[in-house]
Amino acid sequence: MSAPRFLDALLAADRPLIMEVKLRDPHGTDLLGPRTVTDLVTRYEQAGAPCLSVVTGRWFGGTPRLLREVTAATDLPVLQKDFLTRPAQLEAAAALGASAVLLTAALLPATSLHRLVTTALALGLTPFVEITGEHELAHLPQPEHCVIAVNNKDIRTRERDRGDLGRSLRLLPALHATGTRAPVSASAITEPADAARLLDAGYAGLLIGTTLMRQSDLTGWLADLDTARAGATARAGAAVRTGATARAGAAV
């Protein structure tokens, strides 16, 4: 088994954002504009992305060729996002330079999910297992080697809904209970404050696509995230100090 580049890079990141490349949003609106794919990848690298995601699914205007274009433009580990259901597709992803592959638990019988997780790991790919409910965790093999991602949107509507970040907060204890080292919240994250809240709650990473692609000031958005996280850390520290002072006073 090869080293899990995607998983390790995400866990080592100070700002664990998986920044996504996709050509269209769920409503078919062009996201790339006058930029080239290489332009976008370079922008994400300069912003400090530890990992990238590339959407090759046709809903979003993607093709496997887009994966090759992204992996040729960067040394960062790259996730292929598509509805992958066969071992041959995982082999093709690895051949195109992917470091991780999306496995959508809602679409896969337990036996298929088991086979695909095992195949991905044997190929040196990080299984990026996407769930929307706790029941989808029941038969997940080797969760300690998987990213487990909560999709905050509904694939039944082609992710055209506004999303529910509360789903990530509700499911986080169940994700931790599996033993995964990398719970991730994915989709519908638009505001830096919401991103900070999810990370502070205990998510090891966030996958953000449309929001970052549309940012005219990506540096500013990321700075706001850092500020929000620093504020939460300061508040938590103040609460600990206040509690310690109260306990000390009670003991006198």
Q: What is the model's pLDDT at position 231?
A: 83
Segment 14-20 mean pLDDT: 98
The pLDDT tens digits of the residues spanning 112-157 come to 999 999 999 999 999 999 999 999 998 899 999 999 999 999 776 5
pTM of the model: 0.90
1 — pLDDT class (breaks 50, 70, 90): very low
What residues have CB less than 8 Å from 220, skipping those under 6 apart?
none
The pLDDT tens digits of the residues spanning 59-70 come to 888 999 999 999
- Alpha carbon distance 61, 25 (integer Å): 9
- Chain centroid offset of residue 125 CA: 15
198 — pLDDT class (breaks 50, 70, 90): very high
Is residue 182 pLDDT above 90, yes or no?
yes
Collapsed DSSP state (helix, strand, coil) of residue 93: helix
User: Quick one: tokens of 145?
Assistant: 């080697």
Which of 1, 2, 44, 4 is CA-nearest to residue 147?
4
- Alpha carbon distance 199, 13 (integer Å): 12
